[in-house]
Amino acid sequence: MQTTLYNQAGEQIGSIELSDYIFGITPNVPVMHQYVVMQQTNARLGTHNTRGRGEVKGSTRKLYRQKGTGRARQGSVRAPHRMGGGVAHGPHPRSYRVSMPRKMRRLAVRSALSAKFAAAQIRFVDGISFPQPRTRDAVAFLNAHGLSGKTLIVIESKSEQNLIVRRSADNLPYVKTILASYLNVRDLLQYDNIVMPTAALPVLESFLGQGAGVAAASEKE
């Protein structure tokens, strides 16, 4: 499939050929949902902790004799139902990490990219370059392309020029830069506009293309 290619000034300079396998599939919504749930679950720290009755301070002495007082029997000041007592069945440090098969993760990212492309929310540019880190240059770039709302700028590598682009956009709360190899469903769906330089397309093809699984298998052999 083909789509319009723009330069940094927001002018149409031609067209670019895209992979149907990445940008032209029918989005698999259940897999995308599972991917986002996985991301949110893996973001949980799992550092919460409560102290049981054996960990709180307090005497082990029986409060008063078992019978003859007219009161309910009590065995410990550290019992869960007493103020200052331990917590029964409370949370303890644990890992919430879950995983998905690699093919499903790739399908989810391709589904998100295809959904964004179908909604005309991906702007393909021949490149982005600023002379120095400057926020107003990033604002001028967005205005030239008519991009309003939350924008995700994809960069292909951590080159010096890309770091300048990242630093130029850092002060804009509605703009985020991300490496093409780190693309994920949550970010793709969270942002209204995606800026995709042509240099990032080979990176996407390397891990999302049809030959990506074959290449990974051959490397293991």
pLDDT of residue 1: 85
Taking the alpha carbons of 199, 205, 207, 212 in that order, is the dihedral positive or negative? negative
Residue 182 — very low, low, confident or very high, per pLDDT cuts 50/70/90? very high
pLDDT of residue 195: 96
Give the three-class secondary structure for 75.
coil
Domains of the chain and CATH, by start: 2-30+101-220 (3.40.1370.10), 45-95 (no CATH)
Q: Using only C-alpha atoms, what is the Rg of the chain?
A: 27
pLDDT of residue 210: 83
- Answer whether residue 218 shows pLDDT above 80: no
Q: What is the DSSP letter of 149?
A: S
Kind and range of the H or E element at 12?
strand 12-17
Phi and psi at 154, nearest 5°, equal -95, 130
Neighbours of 193 (CB within 10 A): 21
- How would you class 23 by CB atoms within 10 Å of its CB: exposed for 0-12, middle for 13-18, buried for 19 or more? buried
Helices of type H across the chain: 20-23, 29-42, 102-118, 135-144, 160-169, 185-190, 201-208, 212-220
pLDDT of residue 213: 56
- Answer whether residue 215 shows pLDDT above 60: no
pTM above 0.75, yes or no: yes
Residue 219 — very low, low, confident or very high, per pLDDT cuts 50/70/90? very low
Mean pLDDT for all residues in the chain? 92
Average pLDDT over residues 12-24: 94
Neighbours of 168 (CB within 10 A): 24
Of 204, 185, 208, residue with least CA distance to 40:
185
- Answer whether residue 214 shows pLDDT above 70: no
Residues 183-205 pLDDT 10s: 999 999 999 999 999 999 999 99
Residues 23-55 pLDDT 10s: 999 999 999 999 999 999 999 999 999 999 999
Average pLDDT over residues 56-62: 93
The pair of structure tokens assigned to 119 is 């909604």
Residues 89-141 pLDDT 10s: 999 999 999 999 999 999 999 999 999 999 999 999 999 999 999 999 999 99
